[in-house]
Amino acid sequence: MTDNQVEAAVPEHLRRWHELDAATVEPGSVGFVWGNCQAESIRRMVAPAGEAHGVEFVRLPPVFEMDEAEVGRLHALMAVAGVLVTQPVKDEYRVPGCGSEQLVALLPADARVVRVPTTYYEGLFPWQVHAHDADGRVDAPLTDYHDLRLLDAAVRGWDVDRAVARIEELQPAADAVRDLAARSQAELRRRNTHLDVDTTDAVVAGGAEAMWTVNHPANATLREVGVGVLTTLAWSGDPAVPDHQMLGGSQAPLEAAVLTALDLDPAAARPRWSLAGRDTPWAEVAAAQLALYAEQPEVARRAVEKYADRTAALGL
C-alpha cells in the first residue's frame, strides 16, 4: 500500500491523531483520554475546557482497536502530553504497553493525570452478559451483548419462536433483581474507590435513565465524569454535553418487571432493542444470535455454565 493509500484509509475523525508528531508538538499542548468506548464521550465533554486552557484533547481510537504500532506512537506522545484522562486499563491488556499506569509512567513530571471509571452496571439488565470462546470475547450479532435467555435456549436446542415466547412471558424473580442491582452498585463503588471520579451515585440517581446497556452510560451519567475531570483539574465551567445521546445508538430492552422490583417507574420500560434508532423485534435478534450459537455451541455452553447461579436465581 502506498503512502497515499494509507492516508486515504485513515478515517477523518482520526486524521489529527495520525498527523501528530511528538517531535513537533509543543510540550504540554496536547491531552488524551484513554480507555474503552466511553473514552471518546469523555473527551468530547472536556475538550472545550481544555482548549480554553491551552490543551488540545486529541481523539484516539479506543484501546481495543489499537495495534502495537499505534500504542508505540502513543508512548512517544506521552512525553509531550499535558493531561492524561484515563480509565483503568490493565498492563498488557491487549498489546504491550497499553496499560493506563504504563502510560502514566511516561508522562512529564508536570503533566496532569485524572483517573476516571469504566462505568459498568448490571442492575437494569439482569439478563445481559458478555460471552467468550477459548480465544476471548465473542460479540453477539446485532446487539454485541448476549442474553441469558437466548443462551439457555440455544443449549436446550429451542427454535426462535419458542425462545422469543419465553422472553416475552418470563418474569424475573424480584429478589434476585434487587440482589444483582445491589451487588453491581457495590462493585462499581469498590472499583471507583481509588479513582478521581465515582459514578455510582449518578447511576443510582439516574434510575431507569442511567444506562443504555451494561457499559453504555446515558449522557446524565457521563456528565458526572466530565464534572469530575474538570473539578480535578481545577478548570472552571461545565462539561460540553451534546443534545443527542452519545452512547445511545444501541438501547437494550428495559423490562417493567425489573423496574418494579427496583422501585422505579415501570412506564419507563422498553420492550425491545433499539438499534441505530430502529425498534428491533426480539425475533430478529433471536434468529441472529441462535444462528451464531448453532455455529459456535461452545460460546453458549460456556456462558450458561458461568452464569448458572444467576439464571437459577432469576427463575430461568
In a domain, 237, yes or no: no
Q: How many domains does the chain have?
A: 2
Q: Which stretches of the chain score pLDDT less than 70?
A: 1-8
- Please indicate, yes or no, whether residues 179 and 266 belong to a single structural domain of this protein: yes
Please tell me what DSSP assigns to residue 41: H
> How do residues 121-156 score in pLDDT, each as one tens digit?
999 999 999 999 988 899 999 999 999 999 999 999
For residue 252, the model assigns a pLDDT of: 98
Q: Which of 66, 86, 115 is the last residue of a domain?
A: 115
pLDDT given for residue 10 in this prediction: 79
- List pLDDT tens digits, range 195-231: 999 999 999 999 999 999 999 999 999 999 999 999 9
Q: Are residues 148 and 185 in the same domain?
A: yes
Residue 97, domain CATH? 3.40.50.12080
> Within this chain, do residues 138 and 111 fall inside the same structural domain, yes or no?
no
pLDDT of residue 3: 45
At 168, list the grid cell.
416475552
- The total number of residues shown for the chain amounts to 316
pLDDT at position 1 is 39
Give exposure, 204-221, as e/b (b: 16+ Cβ within 10 Å): eebbbbbbbbbbbbbbeb
Domain that holds residue 16: 3-115
Whether 16 and 93 map to the same domain: the answer is yes
Closest residue by Cα to residue 39 from 70, 77, 85, 97: 85
Residue ranges of the alpha helices (H) in the chain?
3-9, 15-19, 39-52, 68-78, 100-104, 148-156, 160-169, 174-192, 200-206, 219-233, 256-261, 282-295, 297-306, 308-314
- In Å, how far are 48, 125, 170, 200, 206 from 179, measured between CA atoms? 40, 13, 18, 16, 18
Q: What is the pTM of this model?
A: 0.92
105 with 166, same domain: the answer is: no
Return the C-alpha cell found at 154: 440455544
* Model pLDDT, residue 47: 98
In the block, cell 432469576 appears at 314
Torsion from C-alpha of 36, 42, 43, 45, nearest 10 degrees: 160
Are 134 and 111 within one domain?
no
In a domain, 220, yes or no: no
43 and 176 both lie in a single domain: no
Residue position matching grid coordinates 451487588: 183
Residue 145 falls within a domain, yes or no?
A: yes
What is the structure's pLDDT at 99?
96
